[in-house]
Amino acid sequence: MNERLDMQDLFHGGLKGLCIYGTAVAFDGWKYQTKDVIKKQLQPVVDDETQQPIIDDTGQPIQEYQPMQIKETIYDDPDVEFIDLGLFFVDPAAVDIDPARYCGHVSHMTKTELQNKEEIGLFKLDWKKIPKDSKGNKARDYRMSSVGLPTFDDQISEDADEALYEVLHYWEDDKYVAIINRAFVACDTPNPYWHKKKPYDKAVYTMVPGEFYGMGIPEMVEDLQDELNAERNQRIDFRSMCLRRMFKVRKGSQVDKNQLKWRQNGIILVDDIDNDVKEMNVQDIPASSFSQENIIKQDMQDTTGAHDVVMGTADSKETATSTMTKDNNASMRFKLTISNIEKRLMVNIARKMVQNNQQFIDTERVLRVTGDNGDQWVTIAPEEIQGEFDYVCMGSSVEPLANKEAFKQRMTEMYQIASQDPIYQQFPAKRMALLKKVFESFDIKDVEAVLPTEEEMQQQADQQALMQQQQDQQNMELEMAKLAGKGQGGLNTSAQVEQGLGGGAY
């Protein structure tokens, strides 16, 4: 998946949109794409005059590598794309994709891309009936214009091949319809996928009961952010007023008002230097204003669960207990969100990808499997991927740190107790399985690399058995030598026993 689709970057953008907008919708389909490329191939050398192949001494045509333009399949694999929510539409009464009567999205394609769809038999085009209006991404234009950035030019492009056509993809469980520029129906067929489901999956950051779209982080802290902005703007205004000095002028004095401007080398002419003009002193910003900002930030952290310790900016003065408590609370909150994303988005995407592989892959594929021991090339046949499978998302651990530490301690204590039990010592395979669980509790990913294999364990057991057998045989020989010495009328010294063994005493 990561090699063909770059899943890590794909989900990085999709999940960021999930946090911002509260909802992420992914399109799970299949993409087949060809391209004209130039490659060198062996071709017969042709005589320029006769246009006949040149023959060598053996009667065979002379061949050489020549550049040839061929059509090559550059992509024939599952396709996953996170849809812009401004371009996605769904049944208004639906709360999820599966029970929705319909859903779909809008994309923008060039004339060349539409012709490629026609070549593979997906679209049927009649350019005389398709409006030539060049379309742009209205959802993106709205976001750009709201922040003052330039938008797409709606004028028709001079190059017709580069003009963008709006393609509306409409999906039901048993139907697919494609409409170009809201006027021409390019495709109206049954659902081409065998799984007979709408090829979309969605997840939300915070679920709103009874609604399709969820709530994102900006919406959760919107009011608090407005309050924080107002608090800071008030302090900025206060500081600005402090920089504009004010004066008290005695009524009836002949002070020129223009002289009261605060400036370098400024002079104010007065009659009475002590009473005519006095500066109005303004107090500094009260400390309560800064404490109010800290309260608002704390409310934001409580709302999102992203405390300083989670963001990596914890105060060094905090105790270890306080840091651990905050980390545990944040982990418990994030665990619910992450498990929801894994179950409703990642697992469903993987399931549809495998189902599409089962449908569209009809030849053997050579896959590159990466790992700590280097890349391995594996050949997979279509019959090997058929069937039903269970899917588990192997994401990073989000368990609270305190729970993980307690679990590791319990696993270590349990192994110490079990390894000393006489009955348990008779089953080395069971002890090895328990030791593997202990290593896994310490988040060691490559457990197999630090544990002996079954073959190594069997070799060690055979070696120990052989050594024990040799030891038993030596003990038996010593006992028989001692008995032989007693039969000759007395106890012999160890030297005599050894001499008897050397001389064949038994």
- Span 155-197, pLDDT tens digits: 445 555 668 899 999 999 999 999 999 999 999 999 999 999 9
Cβ neighbours for 468, distance < 8 A, ≥ 6 positions apart = none
Determine the Cα–Cα distance for residues 422 and 435; give it in Å rounded to an integer.
Answer: 17
Helix (H) or strand (E) holding 169, with range, is strand 165-172
Report whether 28 contacts 201 (CB < 8 A). yes
Cβ neighbours for 276, distance < 8 A, ≥ 6 positions apart = 249, 250, 253, 255, 270
Report whether 70 contacts 39 (CB < 8 A). yes
Q: Which residue has the higher pLDDT, 197 or 290?
A: 197
Report whether 280 contacts 246 (CB < 8 A). yes
Query: Average of pLDDT values for 449-471?
Result: 79
Residues linked to residue 56 through DSSP beta bridges, in sequence order:
none
Q: Any alpha helices (H) in 108-191, and if so which ranges?
A: 111-119, 138-146
Q: What is the pLDDT of residue 404?
A: 66
pLDDT band at 497 (very low <50, low <70, confident <90, very high): very low
| 8 has a pLDDT exceeding 90 | no
Cβ neighbours for 401, distance < 8 A, ≥ 6 positions apart = 324, 327, 328, 331
Q: What order of strands is seen across the sheet that includes strand 103-109?
A: 88-90, 103-109, 165-172, 175-180, 184-189
Averaged confidence pLDDT in the chain? 82
Q: What is the pLDDT of residue 503?
A: 47
What is the pairing mode between strands 277-279 and 247-249? Answer: antiparallel
Query: Average of pLDDT values for 373-378?
Result: 79
Nearest to 217 by CA among 394, 20, 2: 20
pLDDT band at 343 (very low <50, low <70, confident <90, very high): confident
Q: Which two tokens stand for residue 94?
A: 């639906």
What is the pairing mode between strands 88-90 and 63-83? Answer: unpaired
Determine the Cα–Cα distance for residues 357 and 354; give it in Å rounded to an integer.
Answer: 5
Helices (H) and strands (E) in the chain, counts: 16, 12
Nearest to 200 by CA among 84, 106, 104, 78: 104
Could you say which DSSP state residue 46 is in?
A: B
How many residues would you count in the chain?
506
Q: Is 92 exposed, middle or buried (0-12, 13-18, 19+ CB in 10 A)?
A: exposed
Q: Which residue has the higher pLDDT, 215 or 5?
A: 215
Q: Which residue has the higher pLDDT, 494 or 150?
A: 150
Nearest to 134 by CA among 151, 104, 116, 154: 154
Q: What is the pLDDT of residue 488?
A: 57
Say which residue the tokens 């080398």 belong to.
265
Range with lowest mean pLDDT among 55-59, 316-320, 409-413: 316-320
Radius of gyration of the chain (CA): 40
Cβ neighbours for 296, distance < 8 A, ≥ 6 positions apart = 224, 227, 228, 231
- Three-state DSSP class for residue 251: coil
- Three-state DSSP class for residue 226: helix
Cβ neighbours for 110, distance < 8 A, ≥ 6 positions apart = 161, 162, 163, 164, 165
